[in-house]
Structure 1
């Protein structure tokens, strides 16, 4: 299999990123392909599903028909079957961001303006870009605000106040948790990095992000700090979309996105990534997170995944270019 050609023979959201990150295509070619995300394929399909008020499924984090926040699941509490609806505004915007939709696209700008005007959090009723109460969700909000050019400085300030002594964050801190959660921490790190890249950040946000990175790196991305045991076997299985969950590929892709040289402590995680490469040069979708979706992006667990292959290849390119033989 020609893996690059397989990636290019796909939806515009995959194709433009493969052109940029793997094929070294000229900037104008990449930009032209990226512009198609809003008008063709998955991006256009997802945009067409939003309501007239700019929201998806009538809610910020949970579909309106799902009732209040306590009925929905996610970082607070999963339903009895372990699933969660992924169709409300937050996860729809996250998916458009993953697709790399151009935030300057006129339809996208209108959508974000409608979200800013109409979308309110289920817990508290505050405007969407003012943030929620949980750092996991607020990390997502900061990342979305940075991507779509919205003011989320107040949410960033809250996240800085909520950083725990061990360097990370935990959605359950308000209920007494004093040890960080990898899932919460990766969402916050992604948000802080996006905000820093969009605004220049500050000494305080950079310090907080570095402390959060240390929390992950001290555990080599998946091992207990004291015993070296694997913290959660599910972290070794790669998902897309990642939703609010943590896994090793997501963490590696975060460190790649910083643009900095690889820390030596990611080496074992990189070797895990290499070990999962299939004989045809692809990586599998391994751990789809259960819940209602707008539509599926791939053929299911155990099958070759364009998204995981794209992300794995660019992580390895970053690592191999930054580490001497």
Structure 2
């Protein structure tokens, strides 16, 4: 943190990413044609197949300069991009909001910001937003869980934003701020735990990450979330990984209990309940943005 992209240490570290550690462990399991687990579905099984591996690798700073990333991304785009915009989760289905948000974010990070299908995905967000701000996944009504478009805009170059995109982000940001990132419906404890990988799940650190990246770190309505983040810091300055998804309660947990064959397979790169490099890094980035916003 705090070093320029062209710093020799940064460049040396980036060169090591695909060669050793977490990214190397994921890449070694990739098929030579670009997929993980199976070629028929790039989305199933959760959370081991191509979709989920790409999300993790995008968090680990890999780009399409690595031919393995390029093969996987090109395969995904060819199969799941839709002419009307967005990305689906199966060959014969319409674009899906949460998947489009996650993959748009990942593809931008991988270096596909100029790809026409990625550009259409961001236009698709504008066309499918709630008129009062925010988005809805599976038509369930706008909610905090439908955070993926905001995380995609957080990494999309501002020079590419249309006026419609600006209005969509501003309205969605107000939706989150009005709720202080957590006030919606009954108290839901998993939102207050920190997770990695996040997949399509929301928690307060997820919210703070995209809101501060979008420039809202100085809004006083984030005070509760920032306080929660600071209180969870360990005495040694680090943060724990609280749980690995699926970390769910209520009706979702009940449904998985009744349909165990449909329950996702957990995937983690760190142990739950212990200090986490991924959580600590994200928390420190969020707090650094807060300081810059003051």
Q: Do they fold alike, i.e. is TM over 0.5?
A: yes
What is the Cα deviation at residue 270 of structure 1? 0.4
Alpha carbons 2:104, 2:121 under 8 Å: kept:
yes
SS in 1 for 2:155: helix
How many residue pairs end up in the alignment? 265
Q: Following TM superposition, by how much is the alpha carbon of 1:24 offset from its aligned partner in structure 2, in angstroms? A: 7.3
Could you tell me how far apart the structure 2 residues matched to 1:28 and 1:209 are?
36
Deviation, structure 1 residue 237: 0.8
Q: Are 2:187 and 1:258 equivalent residues in the alignment?
A: no
Partner of 1:41: 21
Distance 1:95 1:35, change over 3 A: same
- Match of residue 108 from structure 2: 146
SS across alignment from 2:106: helix
Q: Output the CA distance in 2 between the equivalents of 1:314 and 1:43.
A: 21
Deviation, structure 1 residue 91: 1.0
Post-superposition CA distance 1:119-141 (Å, at most 9, x none): 68553447xxxxx5221111112
> Is there any run of 5+ residues in structure 1 with no aligned partner, and where?
1-19, 64-84, 127-131
Structure 1 segments of 4+ aligned residues over 6 angstroms from their partners: 23-26
User: Which whole-Å deviations, capped at 9, do the CAs of 1:121-174 have from their partners, x for residues lacking one?
Assistant: 553447xxxxx522111111221232231332222222212111331111122x
C-alpha contact (below 8 Å) 2:4/2:10 kept by paired residues: no
Q: For 1:139, what is the secondary structure of its paired residue?
A: helix
- Whether 2:130 is the aligned partner of 1:159: answer no
Match of 2:180 in 1: 220
CA apart distance, 1:251: 0.9
| Alpha carbons 1:54, 1:118 under 8 Å: kept | no
By how many angstroms is 1:253 displaced? 1.2
| Contact map agreement 2:215 2:293 (CA 8 A) in 1 | no
Matches within 5 A, 1:212-291: 212-224=172-184, 231-258=187-214, 261-290=217-246, 291=264
Question: Which residue matches 1:101?
Answer: 62
**Superposed displacement of residue 249, structure 1:** 0.7
Q: How much has 1:200 moved relative to structure 2?
A: 2.1
* CA offset digits 1:164-187 (Å, max 9, x no partner): 1331111122xxx4x312121x11
* Aligned match of 2:254: none
Gaps of 5+ in 2: 82-87, 247-263
Residue 320 of structure 1 and its aligned partner are, at CA, apart by 2.8
| Aligned Cα root-mean-square deviation (Å) | 2.5
| Match of residue 90 from structure 2 | 123
Offset at 1:26?
6.6
Structure 2: how far apart are the matches of 1:250 and 1:261? 13
SS in 1 for 2:167: helix
1:206 has 2:166 as partner: yes
Cα offsets for 1:42-94 (capped at 9, x unmatched): 1122112122321222222113xxxxxxxxxxxxxxxxxxxxx2011111110
